[in-house]
Amino acid sequence: MIRIEVWADVVCAWAYIGKRRVEAALRTWRGEPVEVVWRPFRIDPMAPAQAAPLAEVLRDPLVDAALQQCAPGLSAAENRVRVSEIAAAEGLGPRWGAAWRASSQDAHRLIALAHAQGGAALQDAVVEGVLRAHFTEGRDISLAATLEEVAGAAGFADGGRLLRGGGAEREVRELLLRAKAIGVTTSPTIVVGTEALAGAHAPEVIARFLADAAAGGPRRELPEEVERLRLAEALLDRSDPLGCLTLLGPLLTAHPQDRSVRLLAARAYFRSAQLGNARSTLESLAAEVPDDAYVRLVLGRVLERQGLPDAAAPHLRIARAMEPAYGRQTG
């Protein structure tokens, strides 16, 4: 079975349009079975906890200027008309347009819970309900009551209760970090294996993308722990050391002695200015393997940052003696 991951924000109009186009592409698909799984993305992470009427928000010239970046050459108002016309052509209407600037965090939690409880079919029904509530019914999807009604209508009777209990908080937080780690920057982005298609493309483009991804053969699945480690490292490479540490948390608990996990954690501590944690981790690693030049290098840099040049000097000297290229590196 091919898994399509759709990384999207339910307050993004193109996510709803993209959903219809993915559905159209799959109606003509004749390959192996496909499972569509929705994953969270946030286009407006600063949306207030209490929703604001969108008409008022759009009168803010700063907001209007920011929205113009979505469609260069068009005013925000012109772009809204254009998107409305495209939505109508996809059968989304007759009324179209969000009424609220609403946080999508809890909606993403509900969507993740639906997949965990009932698989792709239940999740799809919840996604459809959330998008319809936001874009064609003009409802506030940040309200618990709205989401509970959406869940009930989709056949997810436990949805409201699970939301109230804090369900999927950690999962959504980690999925948002995973999106960043794999380079998702647009809603929607369709991912199959390691291949990605950004944007709500026409059904024929999506179908070709799916065919090309399928032709690449089955992807060898990595063990969950290996994938988590790689995603954490990708976050550090993207200058998000705190996100790196979030993903590393379960690995540090399950494998507290693993050198790869501890070294990555030490680097993330260093990059996030948690110098005490970085130092203690690196000193432990250096004691176990005294001839690890990289550990010596980073430990020396940590000690320098702590204002301890005399303590740093022996470690940096050893690192440079073992690996001359470390003479100017910062770790």
Q: What is the pLDDT of residues 249-263, one digit of tens each?
A: 999 999 999 999 999
- Domain locations along the chain: 2-215, 224-328
- When the pLDDT of each residue in the chain is averaged and rounded to a whole number, the result is 92
Average pLDDT, stretch 149-177?
A: 97
User: pLDDT grade, residue 66 (50/70/90)?
Assistant: low
Q: What is the pTM of this model?
A: 0.91
Taking a C-beta distance cutoff of 8 angstroms, is the pair 11, 187 a contact?
A: no
Average pLDDT, stretch 232-239?
A: 98
State the pLDDT at residue 114.
Answer: 98
Of the listed ranges 3-7, 69-73, 147-151, 308-312, the one predicted with least confidence: 69-73
How far is the C-alpha of 266 from the C-alpha of 123, rounded, in Å?
38
State the pLDDT at residue 80.
Answer: 81
Does residue 283 register a pLDDT over 80?
yes
How far is the C-alpha of 107 from the C-alpha of 146, rounded, in Å?
10
CATH code of the domain occupying 224-328: 1.25.40.10
State the pLDDT at residue 64.
Answer: 62
Tell me the pLDDT tens digit for each residue of 177-231: 999 999 999 999 999 988 999 999 999 999 999 999 888 766 667 899 999 999 9
State the pLDDT at residue 331.
Answer: 45
Q: Give the per-residue SS3 of the chain.
A: CEEEEEEECCCCHHHHHHHHHHHHHHHCCCCCCEEEEEEECCCCCCCCCCCEEHHHHCCCHHHHHHHHHHCCCCCHHHHHHHHHHHHHHCCCCCCCCCCEECCCHHHHHHHHHHHHHHHHHHHHHHHHHHHHHHHCCCCCCCCHHHHHHHHHHCCCCCHHHHHHCCCCHHHHHHHHHHHHHCCCCCCCEEEECCEEEECCCCHHHHHHHHHHHHHCCCCCCCCHHHHHHHHHHHHHHCCCHHHHHHHHHHHHHHCCCCHHHHHHHHHHHHHCCCHHHHHHHHHHHHHHCCCCHHHHHHHHHHHHHCCCHHHHHHHHHHHHHHCHHHHHCCC
Average pLDDT, stretch 108-131?
A: 98
2-215 classified as CATH 3.40.190.10: no
Tell me the pLDDT tens digit for each residue of 76-111: 677 788 899 999 999 997 888 899 999 999 999 999
